[in-house]
Structure 1
Amino acid sequence: MEVFRMDDNDDNEQRYDVVVVGGGSAGLSGAVALSRARRSVLVIDAGRPRNAPAAHVHNYLAREGTAPSELLAAGRAEAAGYGAEITEGAVASAERLPGGKGFRVVREDGAAVVARRLLVTTGLVDELPPVPGLADRWGREVLHCPYCHGWEVRDRPLGILGVSPMAAHQALMWRQWSEDVTLFRHTGPEPSDEEYEQLAARGVAVVDGEVTGLEVADGRLTGVRLAGGRVVAREAVVVQPRFTARSGVLESLGLAATEQEMGGHVVGTCIAADPTGATEVPGVWVAGNVAGLTEQVIGAASAGLKAGAAINADLIGEDVRDAVAAYRG
C-alpha cells in the first residue's frame, strides 16, 4: 500500500488516499474498510469519545458489556493491522486544494497533511440542562437512552426531568423498564390532557416545581431536590440533552450544521448527508453521531463501514478515469 507525497511545491506534505477525522467506532470502522481496500489511511483522533463516561457498551452484538476504552483499543489495533496510521490530535480546519485535487487538513498544532478524500466522524456533544449535579453523574445515574441504560436501572425508582415537549413521551418509554417512574415537570411545558391520561394509566407520577439539584449519599444518587426543599427519592434521572454536532472542521469546508427535530421539537444539530454519508461537498463523507443524532455505537460502526465502501468506490472511479486519460495519452 503506497502513501503518496506531494511535490516540492506543496512543502512535501504527506498525502493519503483518505484522512479520517475522529477515531471512534464510526471512524475506525471506516478506516478498517478502507485499509482492507488497500487505501492509505490516516486517522486523526482528538481523544474525546462521547461515551467515555459510560462503563459499558450495549447492544453491540458479541461485544455486549465491553468497556468503551476496550472497544476503541481493539478497533485501533484492527485498523493498524491493515496498515492504517493513527495519530492523536485535534483538527483545526480543512480546505480544498486548487483544482479540486484533494484537501489539506490542518491540526491545531499546525501540522498538515493532504488527502484525496475526507471521512469526518467527530461525533456530537451532549449539552445538559443547567441543573447542579447532572454533569457529575452523567453516564452513570443521569441517563438519556433507555436502550443504552434501561436494563441497568430496571425496577429502580426513576425520575424524568422535563425540559421539552418530549418529557411525557420519555416517561412513557422508560415505564417499560420500571414501574416506579416520576415525571418532574421542571421547566418543560405542562402535559396535554391526553398525556396526563396516558401517564395516569401507566402509573407515572407527575411532580410540579423546578428541580434545583440532586441528592447523593455514599457516592450514589438518592434523590431529586425541588425548589421548595422537598426531596423525592430516585436512583436514576433521565434527561434530554441538546445534541450538538462537532462540526467545526466541516464548517471550515462550507458545510453548516442543520437543526434536527424530534416530535416537532428541535433536539440538536447534525450534518446532512445521503445514505452513504456523502455530503454536499464532493469528496467529503460523514458517519456516526455527527450525521445521526440517535446512532448507537453499533450503528455508528455500520455507518463508518458504509461510508468507507462508498469512498473507495469513488476513488476507484477517479483512478480509472486517470488511467484511461494516461492510456489515451
Structure 2
Amino acid sequence: MNPTARQYDTVIVGGGPAGLTAALALTRYRHRTLVVESPEPPRNAASRGVHGLIGLEGATPDELRARAWEELGRYGLAERLDGRVEEITPLAEGGFDVATDHEDTIWARDVILATGVTDQYPDGVEGFAACWGRTVIHCPFCVGEENADRSWAWVADDPDHLGMTATAFRAWTGDAIAIAPPWLPGADELRRSLRERGSDLVLGEITRLHHTDGDLRAVELADGTVLERQTLLWPQPQRQVPLVERLAQDHALALNDGYVTVDEGRQTSIPGLYAAGDLTGKPWEQGVVPAVTAGSAAADAIHFATLT
C-alpha cells in the first residue's frame, strides 16, 4: 500500500441503485466509503422512472440519485468521486489499490463492484436507440404497465420462449405476436400453435423502427414488410464493462456465463471484492429491486466480516 494513499473502508464502483444502497448501509455502520461514479450516462438513463421500489414509484434515475445523496449527506461518511476506476489491484497484505482517471492513489479494505453491464445494441436498426427503454423494452415486469393496452411483439430466436407469446403478456395486452429470424427452427409448427391461441409468428430481420420521439408505431423488416406494433420486447446481449473484463483476465475474477459469480454475501472469487446489481445476474434477474437487495446484502457482509 502506498503510504500517501487516501484510505477508505470501502470503495464502491458505480452510483446506481445497488451502489448507493450499499453506501447508505455502510455509512450507517460507520464505514468510511467512497463512491466512484462514471461521467457517462448510466445504463438506466433512458428509463422514465423506476418501478416496484416502495416510496419511490416513478422516480426518474436522476431523482433517485439526488435523493440518495441527500440522505447520505446526513451521515458525512460517504464521499463521491466523479470519474472512472481504471484498475483494481488486490494486495498480498490485504486490501486493494484502486486507480482512477484522476490519478488519485486510493486504498480500500473492501471494494464493491456496482458497475452494471453494457447492452449491445443491434447494428443497422434505424430508430432503435430512440425507442430503447421506452417502447422497446428488455423486461415486461419492469415497464409492462407503462406499455399496457398496446400492440406488442416479442423479438427473439428461441422457439421455446416465443411459444409463450400468446399468453405471457396477457396482464398488459391482448395483441401480441412473435418476430424471429428467418432461420428459426420449427417455425411452421410454432406459427400454427400461436395462431391457434390468437397470436402469430413473423419471420424476418428488423431494419427500421418507425416512431415519433421514441413512441413506436411500426416495425419494418428487410423484405419491406411493415408491421404495426407499438411495443417490442427485445432483450439485447450484454457484456461486462472493461474494468470487470480486466479483473477477469488479470486477476481470475470468476464469471459464469459472462456474469460475475458471487456467494450469498455477494463476495466474488476475490476475497474482499464484492459485486451487486446487474453485473451478477442475467436479464430476467435484473432490475432496481434486486439491485437494492444485493447492495444491502453486500454492505451487511462487509460489516459482519469486520466483527470476526
Is TM > 0.5 for Structure 1 vs Structure 2?
A: yes
Q: 1:291 aligns with which of 260, 280, 289?
A: 280
CA drift of 1:182 comes to: 1.8
When residues 185 and 192 of structure 1 are mapped into structure 2, their CA distance, relative to the original with a 3 A threshold, is closer
1:143 maps to which residue? Answer: 137
2:297 maps to which residue? Answer: 306
Q: 2:247 aligns with which of 226, 238, 250?
A: 250
Note the aligned Cα RMSD (angstroms).
Answer: 2.2
Q: Name which of structure 1's ranges 191-200 and 243-252 shifts more when overlaid on structure 2.
A: 191-200
Distance in 2 of aligned mates of 1:143 and 1:168: 16
Q: 2:111 aligns with which of 118, 137, 141?
A: 118
When residues 51 and 170 of structure 1 are mapped into structure 2, their CA distance, relative to the original with a 3 A threshold, is farther
* 1:152 partnered with 2:150: no
5+ residue gaps in structure 2? none
1:187-234 deviations in whole A, cap 9, x for unaligned? 562456774455234311211222221122476321011222121111
Q: 1:24 aligns with which of 16, 19, 23?
A: 16
Counterpart mapping for 1:146-295 below 5 A: 146-165=140-159, 167-169=161-163, 171-172=165-166, 173-186=168-181, 189-191=184-186, 195-196=190-191, 198-217=193-212, 220-246=215-241, 247-248=244-245, 250-251=247-248, 252-259=250-257, 269-293=258-282, 294-295=285-286
1:39 maps to which residue? Answer: 31
Distance in 2 of aligned mates of 1:188 and 1:177: 29
Please report the TM-score for the alignment, with normalisation by the length of structure 2.
Answer: 0.89
Distance in 2 of aligned mates of 1:94 and 1:151: 40
* Identity in percent: 34
When residues 179 and 93 of structure 1 are mapped into structure 2, their CA distance, relative to the original with a 3 A threshold, is same
* 1:64 partnered with 2:62: no
Distance in 2 of aligned mates of 1:20 and 1:218: 35
When residues 217 and 53 of structure 1 are mapped into structure 2, their CA distance, relative to the original with a 3 A threshold, is closer
When residues 188 and 242 of structure 1 are mapped into structure 2, their CA distance, relative to the original with a 3 A threshold, is farther
| Number of equivalences | 299
SS in 2 for 1:38: coil
Counterpart mapping for 1:316-327 below 5 A: 316-317=307-308
Contact 1:162/1:187 (8 A) holds in 2: no
When residues 163 and 35 of structure 1 are mapped into structure 2, their CA distance, relative to the original with a 3 A threshold, is same
Contact 1:245/1:289 (8 A) holds in 2: no
Counterpart AA for 2:56: R
2:126 maps to which residue? Answer: 132
Contact 1:124/1:289 (8 A) holds in 2: yes
SS in 2 for 1:52: helix
Please report the TM-score for the alignment, with normalisation by the length of structure 1.
Answer: 0.84
Distance in 2 of aligned mates of 1:202 and 1:62: 39
Q: 2:68 aligns with which of 58, 68, 75?
A: 75
1:90 maps to which residue? Answer: 84
When residues 51 and 274 of structure 1 are mapped into structure 2, their CA distance, relative to the original with a 3 A threshold, is same
5+ residue gaps in structure 1? 1-5, 260-268, 318-329
Distance in 2 of aligned mates of 1:281 and 1:12: 25
Distance in 1 of aligned mates of 2:51 and 2:277: 16
SS in 2 for 1:81: coil
CA drift of 1:166 comes to: 5.7
CA drift of 1:39 comes to: 0.8
